[in-house]
Amino acid sequence: MKKTLYILILFLSVFSCNSQVPTQFSEVALSDMFVNLDGDDIAFNNILKAQSNQTIVIDIWASWCGDCLKGMPKVKALQKSYPDASYVFLSLDKNQEAWKRGIKKYKIKGNHYFMKSGWDGPFGEFVKLDWIPRYMVVDTQGNIKLFKAIKADDDNIKQSLK
């Protein structure tokens, strides 16, 4: 009995430490470099600053991602329902040409950036990127209100935008 209790306590202590969801971006994530549509490098921190005083919906996507493309009509519906939010699209396309073609082809409205460092870069590691599409919501103060959603019609996104 003691052995079972000891194993249970050990299990809970190991997994409870990793379950905390961040409410602030790390300095490393904020410093990660992206590329804007003009081809200029921009730190993630400056992407957030450009949207200051607005709630931000972040959509991490790629034009080759079937689930991302299936979710676009839901993203567009979200944009229609919550027009005061700012929509930031972070692309994991294989190259910048494919990224720009995808924006045009799928008529994606919002603020667009290419993730130079990809899945395993500082930003991707911070958000524990393991699947796309990935949605996040950041409040007007730069706090992470919703850390993870994988569907654009997730009720948690809508709750975070109210």
The closest of 30, 27, 31, 54 to 111, measured between CA atoms, is 54
The reported pTM is 0.86
| Domain locations along the chain | 22-161
Within 8 A by CB and 6+ apart from 147, the residues are 21, 22, 127, 136
Residue 87 CA to residue 152 CA, distance in Å, equals 12
Q: Which CATH class is domain 22-161?
A: alpha beta
pLDDT 10s digits, 33-82: 999 999 999 999 999 999 988 999 999 999 999 999 999 999 999 999 99
Chain centroid, CA 82 distance in Å = 17
Residue 93 CA to residue 73 CA, distance in Å, equals 19
Percent of the chain with pLDDT over 70: 88
pLDDT of residue 16: 42
Residue 42 CA to residue 3 CA, distance in Å, equals 53
Q: What is the dihedral of CA 50, 103, 153, 130, to 10 degrees?
A: -80
- Is the pLDDT score of 124 beyond 60? yes
